[in-house]
Amino acid sequence: MTAQAIAAASAPETQVRRLRAVVTGLSLGAAVALTQALPAYAQEERPMSFSELAEQVSPSVVNITTSTMVAGGAGPQGIVPEGSPFEDFFRNLPEGGDGPRRSSALGSGFVISPDGYIVTNNHVIEGADEILIEFFDSDRELEAEIVGTDPNTDIALLKVDATDLPYVSFGDSNGDTAEVGDWVMAMGNPLGQGFSVSAGIVSARNRALSGTYDDYIQTDAAINRGNSGGPLFDMNGDVIGVNTAILSPTGGSIGIGFAMSASVVENVVDQLQEFGETRRGWLGVRIQDVTPDMVDAIEGMQEANGALVTDVPEGPAMEAGMEAGDVILTFDGQNVVDTRELVRIVGNSPVGKDVSVEVLRNGEEMDLTVTLGRRETAEAAQPAAQPGPDATEPEETSILGLTLSEVSEELTEQYGLDTEDGIVITDIDPASEAASKGLVAGDVITEAGQQEVATVADLEARIEEARDAGRRSLLLLVRRGGDPRFVALSLMEDEGDAEEGDAEDDGAEENADDE
């Protein structure tokens, strides 16, 4: 194979792979000649060294040492305080001891302004009563104060009393500066060894671990205990992520590390710097994903996208006229793919902003204008308890594999119901589709076909209406412990024609983050 033949390959990746394969079987002289034929863009995209980049950004990276008084017999906090959402990723070996003692923990961070603002992980500094910052290019240590923290994204903002500090900037606020396969470099203080550099590529984007606002970059650059809070750089020296967690059965790096995307971090840091806390937009709905088996049951729905509203408590959405059963298609001009996308968009929107929301209701698209509230304020509010009913025990009826009864005082006490409305599931056929969808005794059906049902007769009427309309499934709104979710059940099951695999299991659907 000649150099000209290699250069004729259609894709840049193909050229590189083929060239490497040929070079391994040639003499040194021939290999050099072929390497010279490598396209310029391929040579530029594969760095020969990270030394210049490391030298450029190292002065902005810091080591963080925290200390905390702990009770006797308790192990050290180590890299992650007890109760942190990432405790399983960064678990230290326990140590015994008698009486109170001071425990130290190590982490990393980076300077984002010349006047001393420093970003790190919340779990690095959580519970600490002293935070010391060690700088790369000197032996000096400065004590830091906490400006604000956000446990939801595991981000903290610190401040030291200093001027003219070297600092780094975040990458594109949209998080598009690094694509899968791009080179990245991580810096930090792994295992307390001091300033250290590791390199790899972006392995995946938009990973979710455990948080509502998760948007992690996955990388194979080595990240270990002590790297938490350190920066993940692109090849321009911009911070594209904050190293937060690893996935490992051993506790050490196996090439699966996670850095919170700069698109999330930058917005959080701006709010912490301005307010000392986060102020996220709040729509005031409970939502779940639209699954493929629901499409036929929702009038006007063409494909499984958007966010299905399961409940509208008192708040901005209720004031705007939004209703349970609406499917949110767009928010503030942005398409809503699923619930996670809606939560992210709403959370990044300013409190008090008037936004246009397009919803699908009864087969028609309509526009609503919502004035956003503040999520943190809404989360602090406690829901009021609802009184139980005084009705007597009615008769039971079996439909769609469900044994149903209207709400009664006895059932309210038995299942701890918090509603007077709807139909209670008292038993379920384990071989039915309803069982495979995760429905259990004690669930309450409050809507069918996006209409309220108060009696078994109401449900039977909705089933007949759906069949007369040619629908193969019926959308039920089911409440469990006050949490609502929609479930689509096949109407063919009673006729013995249920199709196996026609629907996905809804038992673990994302539901009811009060968005």
**pLDDT of 174:** 54
The catalytic position among 60, 103, 123, 326 is 123
**pLDDT of 71:** 62
State yes or no: is 198 an active-site residue. Answer: no
The catalytic position among 60, 108, 150, 154 is 154
pLDDT in tens, 195-249: 889 999 999 988 877 777 888 999 999 888 888 899 999 999 999 999 988 887 7
**pLDDT of 514:** 58
Domains 48-278 and 397-495 equal at CATH topology level: no
The catalytic position among 84, 196, 228, 349 is 228
Second-level CATH architecture of 48-278: Beta Barrel (2.40)
**pLDDT of 45:** 59
Is 123 annotated to bind a ligand? Reply is: yes
CA distances from 37 to 15, 30, 44, 45, 104 (A): 10, 11, 13, 15, 54
**pLDDT of 344:** 87
DSSP class per residue in 138-155: SS-EEE-EEEEEETTTTE
Cα separation, 234 vs 185, whole angstroms:
7
Cα separation, 328 vs 309, whole angstroms:
7
Regions of the chain with pLDDT less than 50: 1-35, 37-38, 41-43, 73-85, 89-96, 384-393, 495-512
Residue 21 makes CB contacts below 8 A (sequence gap 6+) with none
**pLDDT of 206:** 83
Class of domain 397-495: mainly beta
pLDDT in tens, 11-54: 344 343 443 443 344 444 444 444 454 455 444 556 678 999 99
State yes or no: is 123 an active-site residue. Answer: yes
**Hey, which CATH number is domain 285-380, 3.30.210.10, 3.40.50.300, 2.30.42.10, 3.80.10.10?**
2.30.42.10
Give the largest Cα separation in the chain, rounded. Answer: 94
Is 226 annotated to bind a ligand? Reply is: yes
Is 154 annotated to bind a ligand? Reply is: yes
Listed by start position, the domains of the chain span 3-46, 48-278, 285-380, 397-495
Cα separation, 226 vs 80, whole angstroms:
9
**The residue type at 80:** V
Q: Are 169 and 238 in contact (CB under 8 A)?
A: yes
State yes or no: is 490 an active-site residue. Answer: no
